A and B are shown apart, each in its own frame.
Chain A
Amino acid sequence: MAYPYVSDREVRILSKHFGDPTARTLTGALANGRYSAFKKAVDMGRDAVIDQVKTSGLRGRGGAGFPTGVKWSFMPKDSGKPHYLCCNADESEPGTFKDRELIRWDPHQLIEGCLIAAYAIGAEHAYIYCRGEFFEVSSILAQAVEEAYAKGYIGKDIQGTGVDIDVTVHIGAGAYICGEETALMNSLEGRRGQPRVKPPFPAAVGLFGMPTTINNVETLAAVPHIVENGGDWYRQWGTEKSPGTKLFCVSGHVNRPGNYELPLGFPMKELIEDVCGGVRDGHELKAVIPGGSSVPILDAAECESCSLDYEGVVSSGSMLGCASVIVMDETTDIVKQVYRMAYFYAHESCGQCTPCREGTAWVTKILKRILDGRGTEEDLDTLVDVTTKMTGTTICVLSDSVAAPVQSSITKFRDDYLALIRRGERVGVA
């Protein structure tokens, strides 16, 4: 059954085997060249692996875009303690659905990425933290891990290299906040998934108090390719500051939603019109959220010239995040959708910080009031004021994530709010 979401504009490196069920078996994976990069990595040595990843310019695909090689180089060299790698497969940012596909179609690609990363940072154990809902995904992954153990691709003296690394599939239990790296570590330790105050950073005091690196699934899945082909090879795609390819998760009102692997810096306009077959049913574009629900909304005019790389999206007024492009056509009720996002954050706030716990709840209540036609124009000022005070004042950035959609929508789609406030009219139905 071929994967239906493909476009000839794609550069399929990580997603090359999407749709091919044989890729998830060890035999299929070996035929696809998996696990040769690990041997190469050990031949090169730790420092050379980190150098190649630095050269590639690979940036973290979990949202923040931090350079991966640099992150790895923060790990101490001879700490004498156990080191850990955590793979963040807690994917739950609304609009994001790439890690799930990466794991269920090509689990060995991720496992090899974990092994190389663990080797580079001197980790003896890699934990892959899958969100609890991912039963199917984690079962596929667990079977791949079991097969790899049985054939000596994980465990003691991997492929005769003398390197020992364990891999464990861990599952969460339904909490968006566990995607935040320090919350993930707490959750893995069997605690409530509440973020920790930084510093200390995970590279110094991480999982079980030991030096730890946390990377997203897509970040780690790219690593074997970089080791195999060299850092410069990876730079043939993308821009100077945002090299390589990236999975774009396109959802919402397009004719062909799905995951598309494209070079960073790809024009948003072409993504929507060319790759995704345009806005559905010939409707007009109203707005796009380019990086998952935590980033500012762009209006149609801003999308015209938006280039999809980390810097490009910032200069258009938003952030690339995890490249989760949510497309909204003119039938969209922006206020309703912003309310839905605020409701999500109120539900997912871990409750440690007052601005976040109280702020998310109040923002949701005010938005609901507006949506029900009982809002006032003053409410808009209150929303801006509250969300401003929720930004930069908390332990993690979940709190800031509410400000992005709320403030940007009030600025860019004020008329939608005013129609509700002044005349009780909803703009849009979706």
Chain B
Amino acid sequence: MSDAPFRNPGWAGNTGEFDLSEEQVRGEDFVGARPLEGGHAAGAASYPYMLADKEPEAPLFEGPYRARYEKILTRYPNTRAALLPVLGLAQEVRGHISPETMDAVARLLDLPDAYVRGVTTFYTMYNKRPVGRFLIQVCTNISCNLCGADEVMGAFLEHTGTEMGETSEDGDFTVVEAECLAGCGFPTCVQINSRYYENVDAGDVPKILEHLKIQGE
């Protein structure tokens, strides 16, 4: 795939350069970083809630996170409806949602503990266990699969030295299988923390991992 004539300008760039900055890929008009405390409340829920650096004991919520939490609550007629975005916020600061985090969120939103556990475990994006600094989700669904997703998956496992779902010894990488990521025209589509890498083939994998290790997020 790497010498295919056309590539989507995704995180992989259209040249397979995995070390491009957001602005380089998106153009100068892409407004990159957003204030941690959020802008208008309408967008307070949509933040990348998978960050490399995680603090499993971080308070729920303080400082700018508190501000975003309060903004989120204003957008719904009851606290229950804020549950998914608030769990997202909790994952953003803590990195995963432990049973204790579920209970803490339940208290915050005045919902029964068992209810919050039931909802949290329904959704796959809440990490129930700690994950590595980089959570690598490889789409192996049909469109990617037709174009070699299994090999890409194999390469990520091989080069991180892990089994699927396991975190590498240095704590850097967790590789999991993902269902269709809606990047099917640009196979294989891989999500690493909050970013999409598109048109990834097995040969690109060492480069991507090396870049992640050097740059952090």
Q: Which residues of A approach B to under 8 Å, CB–CB? A: 1, 3-5, 19, 21-22, 24-25, 28, 91-97, 99-100, 130-136, 138-143, 145-146, 149-150, 154, 166-176, 187-193, 208, 249-253, 255-259, 289, 293, 324, 326, 328, 332, 336-337, 340-341, 344, 347-348, 350, 430
13 A-B pairs (CB sep. < 8 Å) = A21-B27, A22-B27, A135-B48, A167-B42, A171-B46, A171-B85, A174-B124, A188-B81, A193-B122, A255-B5, A257-B186, A293-B142, A340-B142
Decide if B146 touches A326 in the complex (CB within 8 Å): yes
With A21-B27, A133-B191: A189-B184 Cβ-Cβ less than 8 Å: no
Decide if B7 touches A4 in the complex (CB within 8 Å): yes
With A174-B125, A175-B124: A94-B141 Cβ-Cβ less than 8 Å: yes
- The 8 A CB mask of B166-181 against A (1 = contact, 0 = none) is 0000000000001111
Of all chain A residues, the one with the shortest Cβ separation from B187 is A251
Decide if A173 touches B180 in the complex (CB within 8 Å): no
- A208 to B84 CA separation, bound complex (whole angstroms): 15
Asked if B87 is at the interface of the complex by the 8 Å CB criterion, the answer is yes
- A208 to B34 CA separation, bound complex (whole angstroms): 31
- A293 to B142 CA separation, bound complex (whole angstroms): 8
With A175-B122, A175-B123: A95-B42 Cβ-Cβ less than 8 Å: no
Say how far B3's CB is from chain A's closest CB, in angstroms.
12
Say how far B87's CB is from chain A's closest CB, in angstroms.
7
Say how far B35's CB is from chain A's closest CB, in angstroms.
10
Residues of A within 8 A of B41 (CB): 168
Partner of B182, one of A3, A99, A258: A99
Residues of A within 8 A of B29 (CB): 21-22, 24-25, 28
Asked if B26 is at the interface of the complex by the 8 Å CB criterion, the answer is yes
B contact residues, range: 35 or more
Of all chain B residues, the one with the shortest Cβ separation from A140 is B30
Decide if A257 touches B34 in the complex (CB within 8 Å): no
- A2 to B50 CA separation, bound complex (whole angstroms): 30
- The 8 A CB mask of B94-117 against A (1 = contact, 0 = none) is 000000000000000001000000
Decide if A187 touches B8 in the complex (CB within 8 Å): no
Decide if A92 touches B182 in the complex (CB within 8 Å): yes
Partner of B85, one of A141, A170, A341: A170
Decide if A187 touches B6 in the complex (CB within 8 Å): no
Of all chain A residues, the one with the shortest Cβ separation from B109 is A190
Of all chain A residues, the one with the shortest Cβ separation from B27 is A21
With A97-B184, A136-B194, A190-B82: A169-B126 Cβ-Cβ less than 8 Å: no
- A257 to B97 CA separation, bound complex (whole angstroms): 38
Residues of B within 8 A of A19 (CB): 9
- The 8 A CB mask of B63-105 against A (1 = contact, 0 = none) is 0000000000001111111111101100000000000000000
Of all chain B residues, the one with the shortest Cβ separation from A125 is B75
Decide if B39 touches A324 in the complex (CB within 8 Å): no
Of all chain B residues, the one with the shortest Cβ separation from A154 is B42
Asked if B165 is at the interface of the complex by the 8 Å CB criterion, the answer is no
Decide if A344 touches B180 in the complex (CB within 8 Å): yes
Decide if B180 touches A93 in the complex (CB within 8 Å): yes
Decide if B83 touches A91 in the complex (CB within 8 Å): no
Of all chain A residues, the one with the shortest Cβ separation from B84 is A173
Decide if B84 touches A347 in the complex (CB within 8 Å): no
Residues of B within 8 A of A255 (CB): 4-5
Say how far B177's CB is from chain A's closest CB, in angstroms.
9
Say how far B26's CB is from chain A's closest CB, in angstroms.
6
Residues of A within 8 A of B8 (CB): 4-5, 258
Decide if A259 touches B185 in the complex (CB within 8 Å): yes
Say how far A143's CB is from chain B's closest CB, in angstroms.
6
Decide if A142 touches B143 in the complex (CB within 8 Å): no
Residues of A within 8 A of B39 (CB): 142-143, 146
Asked if B119 is at the interface of the complex by the 8 Å CB criterion, the answer is yes
Residues of B within 8 A of A187 (CB): 84
Asked if B145 is at the interface of the complex by the 8 Å CB criterion, the answer is yes
Decide if B26 touches A21 in the complex (CB within 8 Å): yes
Residues of B within 8 A of A93 (CB): 180
- A174 to B145 CA separation, bound complex (whole angstroms): 20
With A193-B122, A251-B185: A171-B88 Cβ-Cβ less than 8 Å: yes
Partner of A190, one of B80, B137, B180, B194: B80
- The 8 A CB mask of B1-36 against A (1 = contact, 0 = none) is 000111111000010000000000011111100100
With A4-B8, A143-B34, A256-B6: A176-B179 Cβ-Cβ less than 8 Å: yes
